[in-house]
A = this chain, B = another copy of it.
Amino acid sequence: MKGIQIGIIGAGRIGRLHAENLTYRVKGAEVAAVADVFPDAAARCADEIGIPQATADPMEVIKNPAIDAVFICSSTDTHAPLIEQAAQAGKHIFCEKPIALDIPAIDHALETVEKAGVILQVGFQRRFDLNFRRARASIGEGKIGKPHILRITSRDPEPPPIEYVKVSGGIFLDMMIHDFDMARYLMGDEIEEVYATGAVLVDPKIGEAGDVDTAAVTLRFKSGAIGVIDNSRKAVYGYDQRVEVFGEKGMIVVSNPKPDTTVLSDTAGDHSSPLYHFFLDRYADSYIAEEEEFIAAVTQKKVPLVTGFDGKAAVVIGYAAKKSLAEGRPVKLSEIDPAF
């Protein structure tokens, strides 16, 4: 049986990863075409993975009648327009985060998707990590009772290039956005208000670019529960992502998985290996699981685990955090978007 025919738009690091996974590791899918504004990148990707069609024009992929679904992995500013084109062409859509950095643009894209009746899944891959999924399952089953306190720590091994920082939308929309999504996912609850604090402690250039590199955000959920998230752009010990949900009947903690379990004991004590350094290593299995989810959603016509609304909500929270930091006060999400 022929699988779902996929077109990849954007043959950069993440686009290639999806292309390889869909080709080698995900059942029920075939990559039929790849587009990239750099035609060489598209051609090389097609050649190495064995994808029949390569093009510089994403519309060639979107209009290809043999294609069932597209993976939008191009630069952020192209996401919303491509979502709309793909939706109008009746293609199902997997889109990397964020949908857009402009909320009206997100709304417009989501409306187009809604009208077209296609499936849209947004690339919050962390939801598919086995650790977080099991934590969410335990919470959903009532193992800790009603959640009271959420703690999330996310720290990158090193800051992105300063040129990227400038166009990234800032730490809340670029980095903590994943934690905002994780917060909503784990708690099964909506955030009402945020208070953000931030500092430039890692690299003064990040400050000159108008951003912070260290941040903590307090969340108030509609249920009354409280959350705290901290981020740093530079953890020398590796890629650090932990969550903890504390509730009336107990607590669930997810610590960092490590590449190996080896412990060396010597006169100085016990020593174990560093964390994963690279997010693609840390979340290798999560990417496969999110792709499988998307293929299953398309095949079974079901709502995927990460919807367009989830994609929007994280952006709204990010803007609230940004406003909170700028104004030095707690900000309600409804100040950003009255729908929240």
B-binding residues in A (CB < 8 A): 24-25, 130-131, 134-135, 138, 143-144, 146, 148-149, 151, 153, 155, 195, 197-202, 214-216, 218, 220, 224-228, 230, 232, 234-238, 240, 246, 248-257, 259-275, 328-330
Contacts and interface: CB of A to CB of B under 8 A. Distances in A.
- Most chain B CB neighbours (cut-off 10 Å) among A131, A250, A262: A262
Nearest to A265: B237
Quickly give the copy total for this chain. 4
A125 to B, nearest CB: 16
A48 to B, nearest CB: 10
B202 A248 contact: yes
A250 B240 CA distance: 12
A328 B252 CA distance: 29
Given A195-B195, A269-B274, A250 B230 contact: no
B225 A199 contact: yes
Contacts of A143: 264, 266
Contacts of A201: 146, 148, 224-225, 248
A214 B273 contact: no
Contacts of A271: 268-271
A267 B273 contact: no
Contacts of A257: 260-261
A84 to B, nearest CB: 35
Nearest to A129: B260
A262 B253 contact: yes
Given A201-B224, A201-B225, A225-B201, A269 B273 contact: yes
Nearest to A224: B199
